[in-house]
Structure 1
Amino acid sequence: MKRVRCPKCDNYIIFDETKYADGQSLVFQCPECGKEFGIRMGVSKLRERQKDENPDENADENGCGSIVVIENVFHYKQVLPLKMGDNIIGRYMKNAKVDLKIETNDPSMDISHCVINVSRDKKTGKLKYILRDGPSYTGTFVDNEILGDKERRVIYDGTLFTLGATSIILRAAEEDD
């Protein structure tokens, strides 16, 4: 089963892609807003999306690690790659100035919720991950403690942090010693 997103209201429409061939055009009508739109199987003009429904938790395409958004009632599991410098994390919205857009209906997650800064430690040369709140309306929690205003917290591989009702795990890059 595949999903397409309505370009007007962002509602998902689920369909069985095995019934169609690559290159075939399909027309959908959104049950929420009534918008009609078309897609072509096997072709995407939109932004890069998750390759499959069970992404690799240890994906590390930029060599800086990734975050794993845990599946819950608001969304499916997602793996988003980190880059060097600031990685702004927030809820997906068209044209939002966010680096890591989490596709969710979680109303407690802000469009720009928090930031993970990836840098090299000057003493060890290893990657260092620093989390700070956006600032957001609901806060960013690490180990069930809310980050204070302007507070920065060093996080490590496997650290669980929460944005609204969404839980995320840091997957640090594997580095050679």
Structure 2
Amino acid sequence: MDIRDLDRRAGAVLGEVIAQVRPEQLWFPTPCPDWTVRGLLRHIVSENEGFAAAATNGSAPTQTWTGGRLGDNPHGAYRRSNVKLADAFADGGALDRTMEVREFGLYPRRIALTFHQLGCVVHAWDLARAIDVPYDPPLDLVELTLGLARRIPDTDASRGPGAAFERSVKVRGDASDFETLLGLLGRNPDWVSPLD
């Protein structure tokens, strides 16, 4: 299994949701506290650019991880950032070289890609829920990201305001693997927009 192929698939799944965002929806709230649809799209583009720069250079300044620009075409900005990301990881022989992943620390590039996949799978749900479109992530991507989510510490020191994830929330006993993943990352699988 080539981790880059999985990452491209995760990015494509997210791209399918982003392509459905209409201009009037950019100010809709999302399940991510403090982020509108536009803010979340900007975060996604920034993350792609941050991962690409860190994969190429070993690390990237904070402004790269946070400075993504959407312009008047968020889907186009996402596509361009996704191409940068794929190009940065194209040298397969270097997947064991380390890179710094923002607040998470130093990781081999193949592990860093799993963090990126996690973001793609979950942020696709965030956006789909915010704009009220269907989203059914592939089971193998859910399985992969669920395994990673189970290893992320759930403590006040590593979760909460300003951190990458909120504290986990309880989900019902018969929750699907994907609902379990959402709960582990601090999302309520039953979230509905306050606009509904």
TM-score normalised by length of structure 1: 0.26
Going by fraction, where is strand more abundant, 1 or 2?
1
The structure whose Rg is larger is: 1
TM-score normalised by length of structure 2: 0.25
Going by fraction, where is helix more abundant, 1 or 2?
2
Q: Which has the higher contact order (CA 8 A, sep 6+)?
A: 2
